Amino acid sequence: MNDNLNNLLAQLHDIAGEGNVFGHGEIDSRYRVDWTAGDVGQPVAVVRPRSTQEVSEVLSLCSRLGQAVVTQGGRTGMVRGGTARRGELIVSTELLNAIEEIDPSAAVMRLQAGVPLQKAQAAAAEAELSLPMDLGARGSATIGGMIATNAGGNRVVRYGMTRDSVLGLEVVLADGSILESLQPFVKNNAGYDLKHLFIGSEGTLGLVTRAVLRLRPPNRSQSVALCGVESLEQATGMLRYMEGCMGGQVTAFEVMWNSFYVAVSKLPGAPCPLPLHYPVYVLIESLGADPSTDVVRFERALSAALDTGALADAVIAGSGREAHDIWRVRDSIGELLARMKAFAPFDVSLPVGEIAAFVGEVSQHLAASVPGRDALFFGHLGDNNLHIVVELESATEAHPVEQLVYGLLRGRLNSVSAEHGIGLLKRDYLSYSRSVPEIELMRRLKGLLDPRNILNPGRIVSLSGTATTEGETYGSWTIV
Ligand SMILES: Cc1cc2nc3c(=O)[nH]c(=O)nc-3n(C[C@H](O)[C@H](O)[C@H](O)COP(=O)(O)OP(=O)(O)OC[C@H]3O[C@@H](n4cnc5c(N)ncnc54)[C@H](O)[C@@H]3O)c2cc1C
């Protein structure tokens, strides 16, 4: 190891203590992997600060040294934003995992950024409230990671994106200064609402250390059904119909194309209660406050839809266990991904009325250019959000597949990232969805808040004159 690196590690030890700094050779493999590929990270070291103050000291040190850092939460991100490139220092939030306070009367929770989503959900439920943020990676994804990516997930149709659940934030800026803005208010128009700058900024503008989240009333009734429909148009009609019948209680409307359902059915112990031949499957969930009437209303609405032919088939969960099993169908995406050698993930937005045609075009072009590759289509239909996963033999096949899919998206009203963010994987396609002035303003904000470009450099946008391509060395250190 060279002297500079030794010096960095010694100073990090002074800040975060023994056992919380890992140099090259001591880094556990979990810090190197992400969900999009295997062993891709090449960190120079890992540090696990125990408090906001320690984060501040780490960033202040890195700012002085010009050392690039990448923040890591639960490492479930899908755009390679949180995996370290050569020479980057990982700042892990895993020791910032305390739920500090729940105020039931104000229905708010204050917590540290490294708390996993599932732990926060359980704490809210214990206080007889609910945290509506939810996604399949709930066991690992952290609140800080969800804020950094403005994660969407399963219940956006009713509660909005992560942004809609965040009332206050504490962020450490690139130079180590602490921006504490932890007000628990729904309304706060006193000047610019700065927290929104950091929500969805993917760790490029600041490191989120604490948050105040808005909680909702507890849901006392849960109705869940898995339906088979003949087309996406029929599914769209069902969404509007169920929203009308349930008076705003629909919390999830998850669409899965046949290929997705068939793939899930092949998993060991797969809970697939409907036959495998429907073109499209829909998971519908409605949460309410009155078990005696909500469930009846839900069942009546679905049975009327079956009678009129608006639905081809449906199973309604008769117990919490069955509801869990139906959700497992949708949540099996994690298991499907884990079994693939490599894959290209897409997470796009486009007008609901164009999704069916787009899926048809993508399938056709994929069959022609990469025959034999399975593509899974699924998504949060109520939010215009379509996910596509194309199974690959190796990551080297990803580029032509990306060009094909994004090429078909271009020319439509679109977003190349509905919810996963841009990170490194989608940076080349940002201009398909954002105008030149928009991207230029993003660069100016980055330059203003992080003039030395030490925070997740190269993610989302690259700064001109700064090295940002994969494989280049950041900061002062090289691995020896
Ligand atoms: C099975 C599965 C299902 C998923 N479903 C959904 C879904 O439905 N909707 C959805 O939106 N996403 C989904 N995701 C993606 C992922 O779970 C989210 O992006 C999540 O928000 C990432 O949280 P994390 O803690 O794992 O962050 P990481 O992966 O560790 O990091 C993600 C990004 O945030 C930055 N970051 C992390 N913590 C902080 C912090 N404290 N301060 C500043 N920056 C930080 C990182 O540098 C990186 O750029 C899914 C992923 C998987 C594997």
pLDDT of the chain, 480 residues: tens digit per residue: 578 888 999 999 999 998 999 998 899 999 998 777 766 778 999 999 999 999 999 999 999 999 999 999 999 999 999 999 999 999 999 999 999 999 999 999 999 999 999 999 999 999 999 999 999 899 999 999 999 999 998 899 999 999 999 999 999 999 999 999 999 999 999 999 999 999 999 999 999 999 999 999 999 999 999 999 999 999 999 999 999 999 889 999 999 999 999 999 999 988 889 999 999 999 999 999 999 999 999 999 999 999 999 999 999 999 999 999 999 999 999 899 989 988 999 999 999 999 999 999 999 999 998 888 879 999 988 889 999 999 998 888 889 999 999 999 998 999 999 999 999 999 999 999 999 999 999 999 999 999 999 999 999 998 854 433 333 333 333 322
From ligand 1's centre to the CA of 226, what distance in Å? 27
Q: How many CB atoms lie within 10 A of CB 95?
A: 16
Give residue 139 CA to ligand 1 midpoint distance, Å.
12
Backbone angles phi, psi at 156, to 5 degrees: -65, -35
**Residue 453 to residues 407, 423, 440, Cα–Cα distance (Å):** 31, 15, 16
243 Cα–ligand 1 center, Å? 29
Please list every protein residue whose CB sits less than 6 Å from any atom of ligand 1.
35, 70-78, 81-82, 93, 113, 135-137, 140-142, 144-146, 148-149, 151-153, 202-203, 207-208, 333-334, 419-420, 423, 456, 459
pLDDT at residue 464, as a whole number: 56
Distance 77 CA to ligand 1 centre (A): 4
b/e 253-265 (16+ beta carbons within 10 angstroms → b) = bbbbbbebbebbe
CA–CA separation, 335 and 476 (whole Å): 39
Report pLDDT digits (tens) over 271-311.
889 999 999 999 999 999 999 999 999 999 999 999 999 99
**Ligand 1, pocket-test mutation among 71, 95, 327, most atoms within 8 A of CB:** 71
CA-closest candidate to residue 349, choices 383, 390, 375, 378: 383
Token readout for 409 is 């998206």
* Beta carbons of 88 and 69 less than 8 angstroms apart: yes
Q: For residue 79, what are its two tokens?
A: 């755009």
Distance of CA 431 to the CA centre of its chain: 21
CA dihedral over 444, 448, 453, 457, signed as positive or negative? negative
**Among 30, 72, 155, 166, which residue has the most ligand 1 atoms within 8 Å of its CB, making it the best to mutate?**
72
Task: Map tokens 């993610």 to a residue.
Answer: 459
Instruction: Supply the Cα-derived Rg of the chain in whole angstroms.
Output: 23
Q: What is the pLDDT of residue 1?
A: 57
Distance (Å, rounded) from C-alpha 134 to C-alpha 142?
Answer: 11
Ligand 1 atom closest to the Cα of residue 76 is: 26
Q: What is the reported pLDDT for 35? A: 77
Nearest to 90 by CA among 119, 55, 118, 115: 55
What letter does residue 191 receive in the DSSP assignment? S
Torsion of CA 229, 232, 236, 238, to 10 degrees: 0
What is the average pLDDT score of the chain? Answer: 92
**Continuous H helices in 285-332:** 291-308, 320-331
Report the atom number in ligand 1 closest to the C-alpha of 136. 3
Q: Which atom of ligand 1 is nearest to the CA of 198?
A: 43
The answer to whether the beta carbons of residues 191 and 261 sit under 8 Å apart is: no
Whole-angstrom CA distances from 279 to 232, 258, 313 are 8, 5, 12
Question: Of ligand 1's atoms, which has the minimum distance to the CA of residue 161?
Answer: 11
Looking at ligand 1, which residue's alpha carbon is closest to its atom 53?
A: 76
In eight-state DSSP terms, residue 142 is B
Residue of 35, 97, 135, 346 with the most ligand 1 atoms within 8 Å of its CB, for mutation: 135
CA 146–ligand 1 middle distance (angstroms)? 5
Residue 375 near residue 388 (C-beta atoms within 8 A): yes
For ligand 1, atom 41, the nearest C-alpha belongs to 144
State which H helix or E strand residue 71 sits in.
Answer: strand 69-72
Q: H or E element: which one contains 323?
A: helix 320-331
Query: Atom 21 (ligand 1): residue with closest C-alpha?
Result: 146
pLDDT at 166: 98
Distance 419 CA to ligand 1 centre (A): 10
